[in-house]
Amino acid sequence: MATPRLRTRKLSEPTIARLPVYQRIAEGWARGGLNRIDSQQIGELAGVTATTVRRDLAGLGSFGTRGAGYDVKVLSERIGEALGHDREYDVVVVGIGNLGRALVNSSNFLIRGARLAALYDVDPEVIGTRVAGQVVRPLSDPIAPATVGVICVPAAAAQSVADRLVGADIHALLNFAPQVLTVPIGTAVHYVDFSIELQILMYHLNNGTGPLGGGLLHSLGIATPSALRVP
C-alpha cells in the first residue's frame, strides 16, 4: 500500500458525469422504500441506454445481481466511493449576490463531502450579514484554506477573484461568471454557464434535431417513452 491507490480503474469523463445522476435515482428509490433497480429502469430515468448504465456501473466493480438488478443501497454507496464522497473538503464562495446565496442555501449544492468554509463579498451591505450559517467576510480578508473556490461575481471581477483564490493556494475553481479565466497550470477551472444551456436547447429546437437531440453531460435526460416516475 505504497501510494494511496485509486479504488477503481480510471473512469471516463462521460461516466463520471452520469454517476451522480444514477446515484440520485438510487436514492430516490431507496427513499421510496424500493430496494432493487435494474439497468433498464435506471436508463429510462437518466435518459441513457441500459447498456450504457451497465457499462458505467461495471467500471465500479461487479455488484449487480444477474436476474435481479442492483441493490439501491449498494449502488448508491459504490457510486459515493468512486466519486470520493467519503472525503470531506472545504469550499469558499466569493460573491454573495442572488446566485451565491442561491447556491449556498441550496440543499443540492454543498453535499457529498463539501463543507462551506467561508463566504466573501465586497458589498458593505452584505459583509457581516449571516448567510447559510456563515458571516460574510470582506474580500480583503485573508482567504480561508479550502480545496475549491466558487466564483459568483460579475464577469469584470472574476479574474481578480480567481487570482486571489489561486494565491490562497486553491487549485480548483468553479466559475459561474461568463468570463474565461487565466490561471497557472495545475489549477482546474470548471465553467458553469447558464446561457449556454439555453443556447443548446434552442439550437436543437431550431434545427429540429428533434425530440431526441440532447444527450450529453448536463443534457442527460431527454425523456424516453416509458420513463418511470421516481416513487
Partner DNA sequence: GGATGTGAAGTAGTTCACAGCC
Partner DNA sequence: GGCTGTGAACTACTTCACATCC
**Which one of 59-67, 82-90, 118-126, 138-146 is the stretch in contact with a copy of itself (CB under 8 A)?**
82-90
Give me the sign of the Cα torsion angle 173, 178, 184, 190: positive
For residues 112 and 80, the answer to whether their CB atoms sit within 8 Å is: yes
Secondary structure E strands in 76-216: 89-94, 114-121, 130-131, 134-135, 137-138, 148-151, 172-175, 188-191
User: Can residue 90 be called a binding residue for DNA (CB under 7 A)?
Assistant: no
User: Can residue 112 be called a binding residue for a copy of itself (CB under 8 A)?
Assistant: yes
Site string for a copy of itself, 10-29 (x = CB under 8 A): xx-xx-xx-xxx--xx--x-
In the list 69, 77, 109, 157, the residue contacting a copy of itself (rule: CB under 8 A) is 109
In the list 27, 38, 81, 90, the residue contacting DNA (rule: CB under 7 A) is 38
- Give the helix/strand (H/E) hosting 102: helix 98-105
Nearer to DNA, 79 or 165 (CB): 79
219 binds, among DNA, a copy of itself, none (CB under 5 to 8 A by kind): a copy of itself
- C-alpha cell recorded at residue 76: 448508491
User: Can residue 58 be called a binding residue for DNA (CB under 7 A)?
Assistant: yes
User: Can residue 129 be called a binding residue for DNA (CB under 7 A)?
Assistant: no
For residues 159 and 182, the answer to whether their CB atoms sit within 8 Å is: yes
Tell me the residue length of the chain: 231
40 binds, among a copy of itself, DNA, none (CB under 5 to 8 A by kind): DNA
What gap in Å lies between CA 120 and CA 94, rounded to an integer? Answer: 5
User: Can residue 39 be called a binding residue for DNA (CB under 7 A)?
Assistant: yes
Residue ranges in 141-193 assigned as alpha helix (H): 155-167
User: Can residue 30 be called a binding residue for a copy of itself (CB under 8 A)?
Assistant: no
User: Can residue 64 be called a binding residue for DNA (CB under 7 A)?
Assistant: yes
CB of 44 to DNA, least distance (A): 12
What gap in Å lies between CA 136 and CA 119, rounded to an integer? Answer: 5
In the list 24, 55, 73, 85, the residue contacting DNA (rule: CB under 7 A) is 55
189 binds, among DNA, a copy of itself, none (CB under 5 to 8 A by kind): a copy of itself
As beta bridge partners, residue 173 has 149, 189
